[in-house]
A and B are shown apart, each in its own frame.
Chain A
Amino acid sequence: MQARPLRRVVITGMGAISPLGVGAAALWQGLREGRSAIGPLRHPDAERLRVKVAAQVPASFDPAANLDERILPTLDRTSEFALHAAREAVAQSGLEFANRGLGLRTAVVVGTGVGGETTQDEQSRRLYGENAQRAHPLTIVRLMTNASASQISIAYGLRGPTFAVASACASANHAIIQAAQMIRCGMADAAVTGGTEACLTYGALRAWEAMRVLADDTCRPFSANRRGLVLGEGAAIFVLESLEHARSRGATILAELAGSGMTADASDIVMPSAEGAAAAMRQALDDAGLAPQDVDYINAHGTGTQANDVTETKAIRLAFGEHANRLAVSSTKSMHGHALGASGALELVAAIGALREGVVPPTANLDRVDPACDLDYVPNVAREMPVRAVLSNSFAFGGLNAVLALRRAP
């Protein structure tokens, strides 16, 4: 069998449901303005919980809006987010999947850290807390990790390779890379991909509390007074297609997904390694054909924990050498929180915004310099500057690293 030549991959649609609101535009606008969506935790058990703050999708989000009411009972919150984000992305792309067999040539890959946690938690509460004798009959279809990918596939008649990817906080980036690779090597012409997460349940919040990595005030990445991460939720979904496919139909290209890097630290289950992260960044540069000095902005993983921010700073220095001093690096988790398996997808909206508008979103709440974090983190106010290429970092518990490399639309 003759190898097919590799194809270039571009992004032609994006959609998001995030703590900054409904729509990718609401997310990008909030980030540009340096507006943090972190606030007091809204939860029926908030009084009992020690975690006090979170970045939550606004209460005004209506999952039923524009969705077929017959499918609503089959959806966990993760799938609600994913379907709404997918609709926005597909509409923007203008793709008609029913035309010329495109549905069969379209992949769906959605990242999620834990899948249907809300469903799991509700049903566990019924069974163990209330001694109910039976679980809801739609429990399985709501909670299965692939539910979001399958719901998107069904909604748009997408019959190509469809599955979920789970790698904790790197899930979205790993998913997007899978989708891009399938287009690149000719297994698909288009893909709907991204990440979704909705796991702010009593059980999950208690589990995060016990790990002692949550901030009690706000998320302050790279700041000396940082106190940990702030949990978030949401989804962002993208339409990818081959460059020739997008050009042949005259589509508006948002950005080129030029390359990617994936590595594992193979060291500690939670403590990150600078070498593993640096190797993923180097791979992404090589894969995209970028030299370090071609990159102007890195959307950092930037969780705001003691361990991540120092290690990521070291990793960027390892991968970029001297050029690290000229990079703009920011963590938008300071505003949209850490949406775990969706975070890389929310951050891709930021990366695309930076490329398209020449504006780097800031790191909010960075008010005290940490000598161990010595890069230019674009503190608190967005910066207008030419942005030719961007890296977007995601590093997960388990020591898993996934980095996207993006260029302006060709």
Chain B
Amino acid sequence: MIVAQDPTLQDFGHDPWWLIIAKIVAIFVFGLVMTLLGVWFERRVVARMAVRPGLNQAGPFGLLQTLADGLKGAFKEDIMPRTADKVVFFFAPTIAVICGFTALSVIPFGPMVSIFGHKTALQVTDVPVSVLLVFACSGMAVYGIVLGGWASGSTYPLLGGLRSSAQMISYEVSMGLSIVAVFMTAGSASTSQIVAAQRSGQPISFFGLDLTAPGWYAILLIPSFLIFCIAAVGETNRAPFDLPEAESELVAGYMTEYSSLKFLLFMMSEYVAMVGMSAMVTTLFLGGWRAPAPITTFWAGANSGWWPLLWITAKIVIMLFVFVWLRATLPRMRYDTFMRLGWRVLLPINLVWILVLAAIKVLREDVDSTSRNLILAGAIVAALLAALLWPSKKKPPAPTLEELAKSRPAGSFPLPPMDLQVPPSPRARRAVAEREPANVGAAPEGEQE
């Protein structure tokens, strides 16, 4: 039987130079390909959800459309606005892209494999604080957006940049706190160790029952998982949180003045950031490169060799699908609601959850089983009592349309009569000689008279 070999922190930093370069190039190519495919994927999925075919002209299934768009974009005129701050305007998109790619370097794509005789992990590198590195990169990437907005020297981009900076500050706090829960459970801040910690469920004893807690932190730490996902959408400026580029208010937000390759770089940074965030969610909460639960039970080798690349890519694509799904189905949030969600909902919930988690850890490790059961029972009883005694507000039944219409004060704007008969247009009468008048408010044909 082949057992998946988890890399430890000592396994990093010993690769020969050609292997390091190969890994870096591989991750770069991965990012590029994911961008190309990601745009295609997004447009296809959104089209499907809107019941239209979507990309289908260039190449099979329209796969080459993004490539064509990219080539076309590169040959467009590169416009430098006269009021722009030239240097910053030039560097802003590159900052965004570089940070996006750097974050990918600590994502573990698989276990130890052998490449030309060298045993190495499928991960560019890992450090004891690699999750924080990703976090730092996503924080720095926002500089690209903010500076792009500022350097454009025009109002809409500036507003977009302002929104983005406020958004980043607000949502990085919630995100950081979700990661804290993962650190507390995994006991490490390195990505490879967190994946290793999700290897198998931990046994827990609950009133004498011996259960196995699920290994994936998405289930074990579900509040953190949900908050992290929400914050990740906020952090990557994706719908419904795409306020920095809200086209209905800000034209295209921070990218308004950008054109040609610089615009493409911004586009690319958005997709790379999405891939990076999806990979991060996968690593932190969805078991990383490990195969999902039922597969390993009948195929022991699923987690060894190069197979994990398949699992992690699948998980990333699923997360990307969620991103696209959100965009296709949710309207953009209003700015103040968005800020309120971050500071007044996500942050307090996260703090309380971390406290609860810490309490659970103390109960598990430092308290003997009798008193633990007592405390647990007490907590459950208290929760039940609170639920029972919680004052419930009965809502009055919603008034009907007629009641609402009658309750309007005098001088209100008049309503059309409920049984309105739209008179036929004189022109229509000329064209279509004898047509029945349209009967809008009345009952269907069969039930009349």
A, B co-complexed: no
The chain B residues found within 8 Å of chain A, CB to CB, are none
